[in-house]
Amino acid sequence: MTKQEEPQYEHGAIRPLAIMGMLGILGLTVIVLAFWFSPPMNWILWMIGIPLALIGIWLGITYVAVYHKVIRPDYIGLLGSTVTGFCDSLHGDEHILVVGCGSGHVAIGLAKLLTTGHVTGIDISEKVSQDTPTSPFENARIEGVKDQVKFQYGDPTEIPFEDATFDILTMDNVLHEIEEQDLKIQTLNEAYRVLKPGGRLVMLEWIRNRKMSTRLLFFAFVFKSLDYWNTLLAAFTDFQVDHPHLIKGPIDIVVYTMKKPD
C-alpha cells in the first residue's frame, strides 16, 4: 500500500521551538545527573540545568501545544468561514490575495471554496520564490488545487499587483511581523490600493494579553494588544472597518473585516 501524501503546513517558528523543548529535556537530564556529583560540580550543573529545563520545556511544550491546538486544525476553517461570513458568502468566482501566505494553508483552504475564482499567495519567504517551488506549491498539488492557487514572492509593503485587482485580500498574523508603524500603515494602504471598489480585507491577529504572556513568555512580545490594533485601525479611515470579532481560545484572536467603499 502506498503511503498517502500529507500537506506540510508548518509554521516557521515551530522547529526552533521544538528544539528548545528538547534542550529543556536535556536540562532535566543535567539536573538529575548533578545528584551523582559533589560540590561545587553539582551546583554548577544545577545552575545550567534548572534554567535550561524551565525555559526549554515551558517554551517548547506550550508553544508546540498551542501551535497544534490553535493554528493547525482550526486556521483554514476559521479564516475560510470568516471570509465567507463577512463577504455575504463567496460566489466562487472571486480573485483573492493572501498576503504573507507562509506554507499556504489559508490560500489553499480558500482555493477549495472557489469554482472559477483564483487565489494568489505572496510572501517574502524564499519558499514562495518561483525558483524554489517548495512547500506551498507541493501542498497545493497534494490538496488538488494547484490550478486554483499560485504563489510568488511579494512584499506586503509594496504589493506587486495593479490597482483594483482583487475582490478579497486576507492577512493572517502578518502585520505584527512588520516592525515599524509607518510600514504597517503602508501595508494597509497597499491592501486598499489592490482591492477593487467594494472589495474586502480580512485581517486576523493573535492578541497579546495576560493569557498569551503566561503561555508564550517572551514570545508574547512579538504580538500586539487588542488596544494597539483598535487604535491603529481607527486612524485608518479609508476603509470602512467593521466591529472587530474576538475569538476566545488557548490564544485569543481578533478578526477585522474592512470594506473598500464602492
Ligand X SMILES: C[S@@+](CC[C@H](N)C(=O)[O-])C[C@H]1O[C@@H](n2cnc3c(N)ncnc32)[C@H](O)[C@@H]1O
- Does position 129 interact with ligand X (CB under 6 A)? The reply is no
Nearer to ligand X, 167 or 172 (CB): 172
What size, in residues, is the chain? 262
Binding mask 90-119 for ligand X (x = CB under 6 A): ----------xxx-----------------
205 binds ligand X (CB under 6 A): no
Q: Which stretch binds ligand X (CB under 6 A): 14-22, 49-57, 120-128, 159-167?
A: 120-128
Q: Which amino acid is at 184?
A: K
Torsion of CA 138, 140, 145, 147, to 10 degrees: -70
Convert residues 133-172 into a mask of x (bound to ligand X by CB under 6 A) and - (unbound). Answer: -----------------------x---------------x
Question: Could you say which residues in the range 11-30 bind ligand X, by CB under 6 A?
Answer: 11-12
**What are the backbone angles phi and psi of residue 202, rounded to the nearest 5°?**
-115, 120
Q: Which is nearer to ligand X, 53 or 171 (CB)?
A: 171
CA distance linking residue 200 with residue 89, whole number of Å: 12
Give the residue with the Cβ less far from ligand X, 56 or 156: 156
Q: CB 248 → ligand X: shortest distance, Å?
A: 19
- Of these, 14, 31, 124, 232, which contacts ligand X (CB under 6 A)? 124
**Cβ-closest position to ligand X:** 102
Nearest residue to 169 (alpha-carbon basis) of 244, 246, 87? 87
Set of cell numbers at residue 133: 517551488
E runs forming strands in the chain = 95-99, 118-123, 149-153, 166-172, 195-206, 240-241, 245-247, 253-259
Closest CA to 171 of 205, 137, 220, 197: 205
Sites of contact with ligand X (CB under 6 A): 11-12, 100-102, 123-125, 156, 172-174, 177-178
